[in-house]
Amino acid sequence: MTKKKLNSFSGLVFSTNPDMMREEAPELTETPEPKAQKLRVRIEKKHRAGKTVTLVDGFSGSEEDLAGLGKKLKTKCGAGGSAKDGEILIQGDYKDKVIAWLKEWGYSQTKG
């Protein structure tokens, strides 16, 4: 038995409809005001080789705004970390400081 090679066009359907291949514009996510955000701050050690990290989750809005808030927090803590998928990760135990800074910046619904 011989294997049949499929070319890269297999399954592609052509249409005469001009709207068929029109790409949709990506949805712009509008970031709510800081007082409307319900952020949760917690400490985690699991699955991190025993290292302690501070997690801030519950952020809703654009990835750019999330990255901006993450950068601001990492700078204030003087630590590394990342910000993606609505979650900010800061290396180290900064829970109390992060909660205080977030409340100072208008994130009044922040809880630990």
Is 3 domain-assigned?
Answer: no
Q: Give helix 95-104 / helix 63-77 axis angle, nearest 10°.
A: 120
* pTM for the full predicted model: 0.72
Total structural domains in the chain? 1
Is 62 domain-assigned?
Answer: yes
Is 4 domain-assigned?
Answer: no
**Domain span at residue 100?**
35-104
52-74 pLDDT per residue, tens? 999 999 999 899 999 999 999 99
Buried/exposed code over 62-80 (b: 16+ C-beta within 10 A; e: otherwise): eeebbeebbeebbeebebe
What is the mean pLDDT of the segment spanning 31-60? 91
Is 87 domain-assigned?
Answer: yes
Dist CA 62 CA 75 (whole Å): 20
Is 25 domain-assigned?
Answer: no
Is 55 domain-assigned?
Answer: yes
Contact 99, 112 (CB under 8 A): yes
CATH code, domain carrying 65: 3.30.780.10
Residue 96 has pLDDT above 60, yes or no: yes
pLDDT of residue 26: 58
Is 42 domain-assigned?
Answer: yes
Dist CA 95 CA 112 (whole Å): 7
